[in-house]
Amino acid sequence: MKGWMRAGGLLFLLLWISGCMYPNELRKENQLASGEYVLVVQNAIDQYKAKTGVLPIKNSEETTPLYEKYPIDFKKLKGPYLSSVPANAFENGGTALYVLVDVETKPTVKMMDLISFQQTVELQKAVDDYKAKKGGELPLGDAAAPGFHSIDFAKLNRKPADVHSVYSPNVRLSYLLHDSGTVTIDYAPEIMRLIDKKQLQTKLTKEEDLRALLVQESYFVPARSLAYRWINGQPTPITAP
């Protein structure tokens, strides 16, 4: 988790330095999953890999979280493979970070919503400040899962907060606070929605990471998340990467 927090801090710093505290008009436009953008970038990725034998990705640490580990390096694609960076990409002032998943088997282009990411990093800072001032105490709310609680925003002197889901319109997701002090977004409601929709209840194993369902069914990876397992008939967050 330390590596995740370090990576999150670096990305947040890049956002701040770049002035990407996004205006509302960009937020509305860039939150929309653009299949056309993804297809164009996927084609460029496939061509680059076929010609060079490697993937055009930026360096990351071994401890970087799974869905943040392989950000696409558009500098390597521009020109012979890609005429322009997608309008909604972070590199073009947008709110999507383009990443790759399944790099070992079938490298696939997805996006990570930087608004959700940024909001969670800001909340993480508030929790870290509280923890430092309170001698290690955390602003824990109600128990949500083994090792996880809701956040008591009153202890932080903040209004209760949540984030827009990139998977369903008009759905907001809550935050979870792990006993280690790590803040995550709770994707359990969206995962359960897919499980119900596809009637997967009897087909799931305890070993699989249920976040993969969200990735398979959309253009977005779940920002600031930990793995989920199928436990006692519910998608349950765990501390595994």
Tokens of 228: 């989920």
pLDDT at 119 over 50: yes
Average pLDDT over residues 7-31: 45
Average pLDDT over residues 23-42: 64
pLDDT at 82 over 50: yes
Among 114, 131, 159, residue at a domain's last position = 114
Higher-pLDDT residue of 22 and 101 is 101
The pTM of the full predicted model, rounded to 2 decimals, is 0.85
Are 230 and 134 in a shared domain? Answer: yes
Are 181 and 229 in a shared domain? Answer: yes
- The chain-wide mean pLDDT, for the chain, equals 89
pLDDT at 174 over 70: yes
Residue-wise pLDDT for 129-163, tens only, equals 999 999 999 999 999 999 999 999 999 999 999 99
Query: How many domains does the chain contain in total?
Result: 2
Average pLDDT over residues 19-45: 64
Average pLDDT over residues 23-47: 71
Residue 192 belongs to what domain range?
119-237
Are 170 and 110 in a shared domain? Answer: no
Binned at pLDDT 50, 70 and 90, residue 5 comes out as: low
Are 15 and 103 in a shared domain? Answer: yes
Is the distance from CB of 199 to CB of 213 less than 8 angstroms? Answer: no
Are 157 and 212 in a shared domain? Answer: yes
Percent of the chain with pLDDT over 90: 81
pLDDT at 199 over 90: yes
Among 114, 145, 164, residue at a domain's last position = 114
